[in-house]
Structure 1
Amino acid sequence: MTRPLSNDLRKRVVDAIAAGESCRSVASRFGIAVSSAVKWSQRYRSSGSVAPGKMGGHRKRVLEPYRTFIAERIHQTPHLSLHALKEELAARGVKVSHDTVWQFLRREGLRFKKNTVRP
């Protein structure tokens, strides 16, 4: 991911647009995309700042607080299906897809085999 352009450049672009110059001419003069000039001027009009918004970051894992519950349920009922586990979580107020449950189980190293006899 690239880093945002400087606030100084953003401010100069917004000042030129506020002075009456078109977004296209300002964009070509400063060597930026027209969409950037438009978005920066919109941001300045709405918030009064040209600073960029938050970029990137990490998403909080939804099922992490329920790790002990999931581990207990798997050990109590080894033949429990992903969809059944998803329904039990939904009863607790956690709305997730079965893929989210599957990824959580794989990441935590919890076995989820219905038939442990077969390889």
Structure 2
Amino acid sequence: MARAYGIDLRKRVVEAIEGGLSTRAAGRRFAIGESTAGAWHRDWKRKGTYEPDRQGQPEGSKLDTQKAFILSLIETDDKDISLAEIVDRLETDKGVGTCQSLVSKFLKKRGITWKKDRARCRAAARRRPCRA
């Protein structure tokens, strides 16, 4: 990802616009995009600072607030619960819309995984012994 422009350039652009220069003219004068000059001016009016906003996605997940609920589903459930069932329970019980991949990332981040071999061994235990 590209780095943000320097604060000194932002300050000069905003001061030029405040001095009467149009955003289009300020963009041409400082060799930046017209929309960039306008966005910097709007940000300065709104925030009162020349500092750029943080780049990238915000830290954490929207499921962090539901950690106790998700872990309780996994620990107290008699049978193995699927990702689809966790998604459904989050929607119905907590009103949190999510997808299976986000739940999977949430669980993987905490070191919670399911191994298919163990589940297959339990299901096939009556038919033949299974290697573990």
TM-score by length of 1: 0.72
1:104 aligns with 2:88: no
Change (3 A) 1:60 1:72: same
Residues 41-67 of structure 1: per-residue CA shift (max 9 Å, x gap): 112222322221222255313257236
In terms of mean alpha carbon deviation, does 100-109 or 25-34 score higher? 100-109
1:68 has 2:77 as partner: no
The runs of at least 4 aligned residues of structure 1 exceeding 6 Å deviation read: none
Using the TM superposition, give the Cα deviation of residue 77 of structure 1 relative to its aligned residue in structure 2, in angstroms: 0.6
For residues 105 and 48 of structure 1, the distance between their equivalents in structure 2, rounded to whole angstroms, comes to 41
CA separation in 2, counterparts of 1:28 and 1:116? 66
> 1-side partners of 2:95 and 2:75: how far apart?
17
Question: What is the rounded CA distance, in whole Å, between the counterparts of 1:103 and 1:50 in structure 2?
Answer: 36
Residue 105 of structure 1 deviates from its aligned partner by: 4.3
Counterpart of 2:114, as a letter, is R
**Residue identity in the other structure for 1:83:** A
Higher relative contact order (CA 8 A, sep 6+): 1
Alignment check: 8 A CA contact 1:105 1:112 kept = no
Give the superposition deviation at 1:86.
2.3
Q: Percent identity?
A: 27
- Would the aligned equivalents of 1:105 and 1:111 in 2 still touch at CA under 8 Å? no
**Which amino acid counterpart does residue 4 of structure 2 have in structure 1?**
P
Shift of 1:90: 3.8
- Gapped regions of structure 1 (runs ≥ 5): none
Q: Which moved more, 1:3-12 or 1:49-58?
A: 49-58
Unmatched tracts of structure 2, length 5 or more: 125-132
Aligned counterparts, 1:1-119, within 5 A: 1-56=1-56, 58-61=58-61, 62-63=63-64, 65-66=67-68, 68-73=71-76, 76-78=78-80, 80-93=81-94, 95=96, 96-107=98-109, 108-111=111-114, 113=116, 116-117=120-121
Task: Give the stretch that moved more between structures: 26-35 or 51-60.
Answer: 51-60
